Amino acid sequence: MRPGFTLGDQDRLLQRGVIDSMGVMELIAFLHSEFGVVVADQDITESNLGTLADIARYVATHRTNGNGSGG
């Protein structure tokens, strides 16, 4: 929707206007439905969900791996 817009792995999603507070809630629902990741309230932070790289790291460490453990 934004011609010429590029987004890097380290770009801050909120700061760049890619996501807003409602978008964060949608992201959390997406992470649960697609990857089985349940984002705890205390984990809803910029350091966990602020960039694409942060999200990838969070998912990698909290993804359900089949033995009931989230991380």
- Domain locations in the chain? 21-62
Q: List, for the chain, all residue ranges whose pLDDT scores fall below the cut of 70.
A: 1, 65-71
pTM (predicted TM-score): 0.83
Q: What pLDDT was estimated at residue 68?
A: 42
DSSP letter string over 14-69? TTTTS--HHHHHHHHHHHHHHH-----GGG-SHHHHSSHHHHHHHHHHHS--SSS-
